[in-house]
Amino acid sequence: MNSVVPTSTANKSKSIEQSRYRVVRVESEENSRLDPSSQRVILQATQVTKAYIRHNMRVDVLKGVDFQAEEGKMTAIVGQSGSGKSTLLHLLGTLDRPDSGEIFFDQNRIDNVPNRQRDQFRNSKLGMIFQFYHLLPELTLLENILAPALIGQGIWGYWSKRREIVARAKDLAKTVGLDHRLHHKPNQLSGGEMQRTAIARALIASPALLLADEPTGNLDQETGTSILNILRNLNQQQGLTIVMVTHDESIAAQCDALVRLKGGRVEKLK
């Protein structure tokens, strides 16, 4: 599709300095991107539209958007505020339904399935992180990471696999550098620590796809850089497919592919 434009990558170790964020990439023959000929589209939207009624007026947010994300790549959705970025991400994540058009995950249509099936899909295949973290304030860091597993497995399923699931949650906390904060609650964490907790929570079910909505939007430059490094490492080292909404061009430039929205449409790129 013309809406996805891959950016260039290198096959050696390098540091990329952008105007706002600095992300260190470590690439080698062992962990380099897959051969492009072997990559496949894992997520696709075709002619998606979405409108809302506000103050008795119809607002057309998406006006026929085509989108695709290739497996193992990091794709940015960029555009100014109000361009429809978050709306598109919510549709891709089945948090909302398009008015028209179709959305496919791994060649299976997902926009028109029953609510229960959509919930199961999100719990098993998707990880999602948001600008505002959405941690449960009464739970500890470890319990917040475990929450999706409890919901997805059910009480009996969770308890039958509790040792294994808790071990994975602790490993994820270590991956994001928070294994020393397991028993702290959100009000005892910094913004960066809460976002890292949200990342670990999103990964507890070993999703095939991670959707991120402005993951650095509430963070300062240094903290935002650390979050981007975590996401990039997950993409490069574990092959996790990531679709990320951002308004920051320096972040988008570090992704493998981008889709630019303007006025609810995919902007034609020169």
Nearest to 105 by CA among 152, 74, 68: 68
Domains of the chain in start order, with CATH, are 5-266 (3.40.50.300)
| 227 neighbors 196 (Cβ within 8 angstroms) | yes
Residues 235-263: pLDDT tens digits? 999 999 999 998 888 888 889 999 999 98
pLDDT number for residue 269:
52
Number of neighbours of residue 83 by Cβ within 10 angstroms: 22
Q: What is the mean pLDDT of residues 156-178?
A: 90
**Is 90 exceeded by the pLDDT of residue 3?**
no
Nearest to 45 by CA among 92, 97, 5, 3: 92
Residues 90-140: pLDDT tens digits? 999 999 999 999 999 999 999 999 999 999 899 889 999 998 889 999 999
- Place 198 in a pLDDT band, splitting at 50, 70 and 90: very high
State the pTM of this model. Answer: 0.80
Phi first, then psi: give them for residue 90, nearest 5 degrees.
-65, -35
Average pLDDT over the chain reads 84
pLDDT number for residue 268:
59
pLDDT number for residue 123:
87
